[in-house]
Amino acid sequence: MKNVAAFFDIDGTIYREGLITEVFKKIIKYELVSENKWYKDVRPSYIKWDKRQGDYDTYLLKMVDVYVEAIKGIDKYHIDYIAKKVIEQKGDRVYTFSRERIKWHKDQGHIVIAISGSPSELVKEMSMKYNMDDYKGTVYELDNNNKYSGDVIPMWDHESKLNSINEFQQKYNIDLSKSYAYGDTSGDISMFKSVGIPYAINPTKELLSKVMEDEEIKEKIKIIVERKDVTYNLDINCINIL
């Protein structure tokens, strides 16, 4: 008998912001990189996104570029330690809906898997905290001295997430037609196409536009918006993108 799985993005889907930002701030706090890296290279994109004058994907990609440069030459031990601290301190800052859905899937005996663009060290810690069965995150590669080389295997784009779902399908004998996916940005669109029951959690404008252009996804998608202590289940056919 095939298994049912639930695939969760993390940033913006479970966690209410971006985990990579939190680890970057910790790197600065522990003086592994200069504070100027944040103020000069990242903060302008963050402020534009925070003021809703720029989009999240632009901010995220800028964050990734600076993060790659910042950790190059740093020993993996330091990032593992920081990842643990970030999840210890920030791991409960999640959406109520997503936390309850993870619990529901575990109660149903479903396989729960994180597929996230965050660094794999963070994804590992987050998946352990919420008792997930497996995970895939962005891999920042190491050199022969266990230091970050500057090379990256991404997990934030739709092609990488599709490949991961196919790998997990084989590994766990998953029936994708009965499985679930949860995401919030355009990088999650391939997960939505792959499963029978997709959920868009506080979706970006770009993701909603792509969903509306794809009749296959539009027919099965569930749109969830959580604000303060209220969760809204929206009908995709009643949404007007302004």
Q: Residue 175: phi, psi to the nearest 5?
A: -90, 100
pLDDT tens digits, 106-165: 999 999 999 999 899 999 999 999 999 999 999 999 999 999 999 999 888 889 999 999
Strand-pairing partners, residue 193, are none
Q: What is the pLDDT of residue 48?
A: 77
- Residue among 197, 191, 172 at smallest CA distance from 2: 172
- Residue among 124, 119, 102 at smallest CA distance from 8: 102
Bigger pLDDT: 15 vs 65: 15
221: pLDDT strictly greater than 80:
yes
Bigger pLDDT: 89 vs 67: 89
49: pLDDT strictly greater than 80:
no
Question: Over the Cα atoms of the chain, what is R_g?
Answer: 18
Kindly state which CATH superfamily the domain 5-238 is placed in.
HAD superfamily/HAD-like (3.40.50.1000)
User: How far is residue 201's CA from residue 223's CA, in Å, rounded to a whole number?
Assistant: 6
Q: Are 204 and 184 in contact (CB under 8 A)?
A: yes
Q: What is the pLDDT of residue 146?
A: 95
